[in-house]
Amino acid sequence: MTDTRRGPAALLVMEEERRADVYPTHVLDEIGELAHWQGPALTRDALGRDPGVLEGVEVLLTGWGAPVLDADLLAHAPELKAVLVAAGSVRHLTTPEFWARGIPIVSAAAANARPVAEFTLGQILLGLKQVHRLGREAAAARRYPRDPRVAGGYGSRVGLFGLGQIGRLVAEHLRRFDVEVLACDPVVEPAVARGWGIRLTGIEELFASCDVVSVHAPLLPETEGVVNGPLVSLLPEGATLVNTARGAVLNEPEVIGVLRDRPDLTAVLDVTFPEPPDPLSPLFTLPNVVLTPHLAGAMGRERARLGELVRDELRRLVCGDPLLHAVEPAVAATRA
């Protein structure tokens, strides 16, 4: 990191493990042309041991392992003008004291949404062909089924529980296919959904009528455990449930009970609660559960998109242009 003594004073604080992925050399070099580095990159713990380094910092760059923006941190950062977060939610690092300062905060949720939506699309298409179910049944029987009945990718229904950034992006991907997209989201107006090519419906119809249901709801008090046993039991024969949102949106004990009773169903769970599951959890042994270790979001080289979004927002900040990914307090509270 070269100190160019141009632009605002910037400091990068995040965990070391993913730092090089999120902020690869080309991104750091380009940031260095827009700002000057107040010091070397730090972890949250290192910053806690020497908070005085924040004196004079105008732009805080961060990502996974971000420091909590509480009164103590803010007291050491009187010149802070912006926080740019190369990660999704800013909910757990913002505080009332931070919002009271009126400092803009940027989230890279839009960049992280892309791989989640791509992963989800892949699982939806596999679900419509019932790949996981037919694969396990063929392995158990040691023969292929004859003329299996599958929904397929023509005229089938796909349900999206939640139309936030990721849900809308999944719907956009699905517009390339000959499927009907239904969704349940209480804050989206039907006319707006129709403009996205989506028909809004109630949650029970969503589960009862869709060949694949994909969960994209944030974890809020009103959504905790909302996908319960009675809902999942409504799924049509051979249906697939996909969860890339938060594990606690599912009432796992009830859902596990339904999956035991309904071997025709498949659950693709990229998130669980707790995460990872307890080693003795039935999720590891149920044949109709596909567990993936929270890999739908940005992994490896995909993470550079988050740093590039932060770089682009820093350029807008330096040029006096409006920020495209600034998060408002009300929105921050509803993001997972």
CATH of the domain at 242: 3.40.50.720
Q: Are residues 125 and 24 in the same domain?
A: no
Residue 4 in this model has a pLDDT that exceeds 60: no
In a domain, 3, yes or no: no
Q: Total domain count for the chain?
A: 2
Q: Are residues 62 and 77 in the same domain?
A: yes
In a domain, 196, yes or no: yes
In a domain, 120, yes or no: yes
| Between 336 and 57, residue with greater pLDDT | 57
Q: Are residues 270 and 169 in the same domain?
A: yes
The residue from 274, 291, 308 where one domain ends is 291
What is the three-state SS of 188-225? CCHHHHHHCCCEECCHHHHHHHCCEEEECCCCCCCCCC
pLDDT digits (tens, 9 = 90+) for 218-237: 999 999 999 999 999 999 99
pLDDT digits (tens, 9 = 90+) for 267-312: 999 999 999 999 999 999 999 999 999 999 999 999 999 999 999 9
Q: Are residues 174 and 102 in the same domain?
A: no
Residue 2 in this model has a pLDDT that exceeds 50: no
In a domain, 1, yes or no: no
Q: Are residues 71 and 126 in the same domain?
A: no
Q: Which domain holds residue 185?
A: 113-291
What is the pTM assigned to this prediction?
0.92
In a domain, 2, yes or no: no
Q: Are residues 49 and 126 in the same domain?
A: no
In a domain, 226, yes or no: yes
Q: Are residues 127 and 29 in the same domain?
A: no
Q: Are residues 62 and 150 in the same domain?
A: no
- Check residue 330 and give its pLDDT: 78
Q: Are residues 42 and 162 in the same domain?
A: no
Q: Are residues 103 and 252 in the same domain?
A: no
For residues 240 and 237, what is the distance between their CA atoms, to the nearest angstrom? 9
Q: Are residues 286 and 306 in the same domain?
A: no
Q: Are residues 259 and 182 in the same domain?
A: yes
